[in-house]
Structure 1
Amino acid sequence: MLDSYIALTCELIIGFFALLVLTKVLGKNQITQLTPFDFISALVLGELVGNAIYDEDIGLHYVLYAVFIWGMLIYAIEMLTQKFRATRAVLEGSPSVIIAKGRIQFKELKKNKLDLNQLQHLLRERGVFSIQEVEYGILETNGSVNVQRKSAYDIPTNKDLAIHRSDPTLPIPIIMDGEIIEESLTEMNQSKTWLQEILLKRGIATHKAVLYAEWIEGNPLFLQTYKEER
């Protein structure tokens, strides 16, 4: 029994340091620029080491062998993408422009399996609480979104210019994917009739033609239809 514990301890320690060395060899980009492929690779590597350690029929040399082979495969991919630019789009993916000239690129959202709620979440992570503030939005290969704000919302800030403004309010989405968000209308103390009147004034017959609409207190209703982007 004692021998089993000693063997397990040795395998855990060696497996730990083997993974540590592999992480150092592969570089920090495995964490800071984690792509879906990198994420899956890390899961598979952890599974290989875990199975090798806890399977009594597999010795310590199999643990090291699994780490070495899988690490070399990942390292080879990294070297390939560094030396040959043409391979990067296939092996690493390429960024997608999901907001262009202030308009949501619906086809790109569908292509990247991204819905509007997820887009809002990614924008809020960048400190952007309204899509109206964004001129361009780029979905990076690691799943994050980088934005270029419209000039009206970019630096210099109101504080820099000593301009006093009232406290900002959160935008309220009222239409998503052609569906009215009734909870939002309730929060605004407004009705569907009020919304329909606004849409008709803007030349839109039905809310089902609207991809996204949001309301900010004191501003006109912002909306975008499914009409093909130009």
Structure 2
Amino acid sequence: MKYVEIFIECVATYFYLVFLLRYLGKKEMGKLSVSDLIVFLLISELMTISIGDDNVNFFHGALAALVIIILDKLCSYAALKFKPVKKVLEGHPTFIVNKGKLDQKKMEALNYSVDDLCHHLRSQGIGSLSEVEFAILETDGQLSVIESQKNQVEMPESLIIDGEINSEILKMMGKNEDWLKKKLRQHGVDDYHDVFYCILEKERLFFIKK
């Protein structure tokens, strides 16, 4: 009877976790942020305990997993609406190579070696750092690389997202908010809050209005 109960709980756990992860909306399981990884580890541990420990009710474990998923959803919504929350929960991308220049201080701060960088470049078919215009270590640990010959932007990071100016990127470019506002006015945009997305390409300022 005990084995039948374990079998039923395992089957129920499988379908329950499939439902929860679908609800969570994670499409690429190989590219998880730190918060995503924590959520999956917690859910896995909770469901394992609820099946293997006779003193823990299965439904209590399932309820706890649901609470974690809902909490993660709320945090994701807060990160989408509030930039400070996003920085705390997800961090921010780090430019390892910026306009062909290797930033050794940032690499040291991240404990990211030149061997690591070269390994990732080779895996993308790039043989030398001289071919790289930008190399960005994303929040999920992936390295995004833009080759010099293929680069079409001044900076591969948005200047405005959903009406919010990215001041850090402007500072990296040696620009300020007044410069960006002036550029937008030249394109007939008086209020940057009306801009959903904006990036500086080589030849122009590309933006999408709300």
1:127 to 112, 120, 125: 125
Please state if 1:143 is matched with 2:104.
no
AA matched with 2:120: L
State which structure, 1 or 2, has the greater radius of gyration over its C-alpha atoms.
Answer: 1
Equivalent pairs counted in the alignment come to 151
Counterpart CA distance in 1 for 2:83 and 2:72 is 17
- Counterpart code for 1:20: V
Alpha-carbon distance in structure 2 between the residues aligned to 1:35 and 1:29? 13
Once residues 63 and 148 of structure 2 are traced to their aligned partners in structure 1, the CA distance between those partners, rounded to angstroms, is 53
Q: Secondary structure at the match of 2:29?
A: helix
| Match of residue 43, structure 1, among 41, 44, 53 | 41
2:65 corresponds to 1:67: yes
1-structure distance, mates of 2:112, 2:18: 34
Give the letter aligned to residue 18 of structure 2. L
TM-score normalised to the size of structure 1?
A: 0.61
TM-score normalised to the size of structure 2? 0.66
Unpaired runs of 5+ residues, structure 1, are 156-230
| SS of residue matched to 2:32 | coil
Aligned partner of residue 82 in structure 1, secondary structure: helix
- Indicate the SS of the match to 2:73: helix
> Equivalences for 1:154-173 in 2 at 5 Å?
154=150
- Judge conservation of contact 1:15–1:63 (CA < 8 Å) in 2: no
Q: CA RMSD in A?
A: 1.8
Identity %: 29
The whole-number CA distance in structure 2 between the counterparts of 1:96 and 1:12 is 41
In structure 1, C-alpha distance between the alignment counterparts of 2:61 and 2:85, rounded to whole Å: 31
Q: 1:30 offset after TM fit, Å?
A: 6.1
Counterpart of 2:109?
111
Q: Which residue of 2 aligns with 1:10?
A: 8
